[in-house]
Amino acid sequence: MKKFLSLFFFLALALVFVGCKEDKEYTLSLAGPETVKVGDSITLVPTTDKPEAVFTWTSSNTAVATVNNGVVTGVAKGTAVVTVKVEGVGEKFLVVNVSEFSFSLAGGDSVKVEKTLTLTATTDKPSPSYTWSTSDASVATVANGVVTGKKAGTATITCALAGVGSLTKVVTVRALTTLTVGSTTEAGVNMFSTFWGNNATNADVRALTFGYGTVSYQKEAARYEIDPTVVKKLDVKANEDGTKTYTIEINQGLVWNDGTPIDAKDYVFPMLMGINPVFATAIGKALTTTGDIVGSKDFADPAKNADGKAELPGVDLLGDYKFSITINADRFPYYYEFLYYSAAPWPLHVIAPKADIVQGTNGAKITGTWTVDALKETVDKDGKGYRYDISVTCGPYNLYNFDEATSTATLKINEKYAGDYQGQKPDIDYVVFKYVTSATQMQALLNGEIDLIESVSSGDAIIAGLKEVAYDKIKFSTFSRNGYGLIAFHCDKPAGPTADVEVRQAIAYLINRNLFLETYTRGYGILPNGQYGLAQWMVEASMNEDGVVQGRDKDGKEVALNSYSYDPVKAVQLLEQAGWKYDAEGKDYVQAPDYTSVRYKKEGDKLVKLSVPWGNTPNNPVSELIRSQLLPNAKAVGMEITDQTMDFNTLLYKHYYGAYGDGYGVPKDEDGDGKWTEADIPEYEKEETDAREYHMVNLGTGFSTGLFEPYYDVSIEYWGWDGGANINYLYDKEMLEAAEKMMRAASDEEYLRAWQQYQLRYNILLPSLPLYSDMYHAFYSPKLKNYEVTAEWTMTEAILYATVEG
């Protein structure tokens, strides 16, 4: 009986639900031209959401116009009503005017507020006179076909042609849109180039404001190629002396955002300025050169180019839109050869307004006013020069405002931008980079204070974000990190204890990196044991069947990279092996019960304390993990790590450049043989200021898209403050040779073997201790559309293809 009642109840409910079902109301629309010339045809397009709809067409006057499946043919002058009908839906009609003349209206149907849209009317009527009008001037105005958006909404624009008829176009006016990017890196004041540092936010600002490089990373090809928006033609010539010349002709019509045409001089200018002795003096740095370009070493030498106006033989100005670059014979092969013909413009008329670029007898050169004082006036100008105010640029956006107090940079769309390699131009009107902390960024996104978090790496933050995604509050994308988090060391003698490889290795053994990885990434990352990131192809190619990345020794044998598993006993052995076995009185070290004792090392008649100054930033979960995991473990074995917290820009600048110097002079090839050895390390002058206040710092780093070329990071030629690249202050012959083999690789296989050799040495010497390489997650507002990022296709490329709903 119960079963019967249940069945009866179920059937009753079913009848109720079926009986309550309402018929769906379908829609029907009709669009297309409203004017056709006698003997010509136009096509009308019906749209309905009814499945398998059958359209029935009729004309009110077939003597004037006929219709067949939406194709209307003009028969004689007059008007006819063309109707389309769908059974069960309804009908729609258009009044079609048939004229002896053709008449059409072309152009877009959408425009932003304060922007213009041009509609074009065409006819074969002699001496036509068009009359333009708008249905709502508060939304959009029109004059001679130019529609100007006034406020968000729609307006019907009508173009009337006397004696023929009128055409209309419904134009949607969209509000200006803003994308606010939350950045956990405070933007610094230095906006121009990387001479004064390169934090992540400033790098993003530069990527969006500068542009028109001759080569670009192209998503479909997954590699760098010539940018057709910029380059008209590239010719490559192998010369008899082994050098190679790249002749580049750029397209005409490219302009700076102030309307000034961009020409070949603007491309040659950075090559003459970037290594110029006069510019180096003006900015207080000794600029180095790779020496790739023929004659560049002599050009960069103040003794040979004191006024900065020497000719650069490897660069020729060949015309208004053509220049060439010649590379030295000993620089081939080169794994990244496209970099030899990669060039981007700087605004000569802004940075050096009274100078000029001309072709000399043996190369391009600077003429006119080119002095230290003149460059200080334009580049620095007491904090108001081009270094800080990049008012003239040529990328997709202009720097609209920078608020140093809040580290907020606002970019505004560059209306004169010609597009990326596909001609793509941005749709988002404003991009704002706003500083947020790691702890508050997700709440800021949920509150609508920001619209995008570019790359979240903390596992807790990722999980919190994914929960909000599940509630459909925000959207996300995920991609492998092209970089890693690390602890970086200064490895030179003046840095103190971290100069000893055993101390650096001991620190590695004192951190349970697997626990660190799990705590920080919560499963969204891997533990790297070298200078690499999860996204690099070399990583997977070097894994054995157990997923362990293999290095390669100097005999070519594969060797698993040391994972430095947590081992305090091994750490103590290494410290004592390096001589850190005494107490403050020079006696054998004995650990105090309360772990307050510190180890010392004898250097001559002096005792050196095992004290490592650590620089870190506030509100940083990585710093907190180091503080909780490393510091007590170090204290337990007699190592003192002093904890110094500061803002990120101070930390980065002092770590990279020593703030105002690092005590070293300019790197010089003392014997002039072109080879850099330990004997060429610049002399350390104690009387000079060494403003590196700490010698261990936790950072995150990202590799350039599609590139990994560490040669400059480990070469003596690029040592420290004046060298500008080797900021770990480490020289190792084997590591440098491996890095050079990577540069000179003629194939992927050669490059991979050299990469493995390099990683093994890096793993042993530990100029930096890798902590994690994670799966980045980008979280963003649902109003951000078409935002697609990968490890190689980054935010600054993706923004050009994205839109923001008003």
What tokens appear for 560 in the block? 């698993």
Concatenating the DSSP letter of every residue in 333-344 gives S-TTGGGGG---
For the chain, domain boundaries? 28-99, 103-175, 215-387, 483-568+618-775
- pLDDT one-digit tens code per residue, 248-280: 999 999 999 999 999 999 999 999 999 999 999
The residue to which tokens 């940018």 are assigned: 227
The angle subtended at Cα 471 by Cα 469 and Cα 474, nearest 5°, is 40
Concatenating the DSSP letter of every residue in 116-166 gives EEE-EEEE-SSS--EEEEES-TTTEEEETTEEEE-SSEEEEEEEEETTTEE
Query: Which has the closest alpha carbon to 771: 582, 518, 599, 594?
Result: 518
Residue 370 has pLDDT above 90, yes or no: yes
What is the four-CA torsion angle of 280, 283, 289, 294, rounded to 10 degrees? -50
Over range 779-796, report the average pLDDT.
96
- pLDDT one-digit tens code per residue, 49-60: 999 999 999 999
pLDDT at 9: 38
pLDDT at 669: 77
Q: Please give the Cα distance from 490 to 497 (Å, whole number).
A: 9
The angle subtended at Cα 275 by Cα 270 and Cα 276, nearest 5°, is 90
pLDDT at 681: 85
Dihedral pair phi/psi, residue 40, rounded to 5°? -100, 170
pLDDT at 95: 92
Which residues have a Cβ under 8 Å from the Cβ of 337 and sit 6 or more positions away? none
- pLDDT one-digit tens code per residue, 644-698: 999 888 888 777 766 566 778 777 777 777 778 888 888 887 656 677 888 999 9
Q: Provide the pairing of β-strand 178-183 with 146-149.
A: unpaired
Residue 597 has pLDDT above 60, yes or no: yes
The residue to which tokens 């390699």 are assigned: 421
Region label for 153, one of left (φ > 0), alpha (ψ between -120 and 50) or beta (otherwise)? left
**Domain range 28-99, CATH class:** mainly beta
pLDDT at 1: 43
- pLDDT one-digit tens code per residue, 425-450: 999 999 999 999 989 999 999 999 99
Strand, helix or coil for residue 695: coil
Residue 16 has pLDDT above 70, yes or no: no
Q: What CATH number should be reported for the domain whose range is 215-387?
A: 3.90.76.10
- pLDDT one-digit tens code per residue, 733-777: 999 999 999 999 999 999 999 999 999 999 999 999 999 999 999
Q: Please give the Cα distance from 572 to 610 (Å, whole number).
A: 12
pLDDT band at residue 22 under the 50/70/90 scheme: very low
pLDDT at 657: 63
Over range 460-486, report the average pLDDT.
95
Q: Is the peptide bond before 767 cis (omega within 30 degrees of 0)?
A: no
pLDDT at 658: 63
pLDDT at 659: 56
Q: Please give the Cα distance from 206 to 208 (Å, whole number).
A: 5
Side-chain-side CA neighbours of 17 within 13 Å: the count stands at 6
pLDDT at 143: 98
In CATH terms, the fold of domain 483-568+618-775 is: Dipeptide-binding Protein; domain 3 (3.10.105)
Q: Are 740 and 725 in contact (CB under 8 A)?
A: no
pTM for the predicted model, two decimal places:
0.84
Residue 785 has pLDDT above 80, yes or no: yes
pLDDT at 5: 38
* Average pLDDT score over the chain: 93
Instruction: Name the percent of the chain in helix, strand, coil, to the closest 5.
Output: 25, 30, 45
Same fold, 28-99 and 103-175: yes
Q: Please give the Cα distance from 179 to 784 (Å, whole number).
A: 8
Q: Please give the Cα distance from 368 to 516 (Å, whole number).
A: 58
Residue 403 has pLDDT above 60, yes or no: yes
Secondary structure element (H or E) that encloses residue 20, with its range: helix 2-20
What is the four-CA torsion angle of 749, 755, 760, 765, rounded to 10 degrees? 160
**CATH number, domain 103-175, options 3.40.109.10, 2.70.98.20, 2.60.40.420, 2.60.40.1080:** 2.60.40.1080
Over range 182-209, report the average pLDDT.
91
Residue 304 has pLDDT above 70, yes or no: yes
- pLDDT one-digit tens code per residue, 135-186: 999 999 999 999 999 999 999 999 999 989 899 999 999 999 999 999 999 9
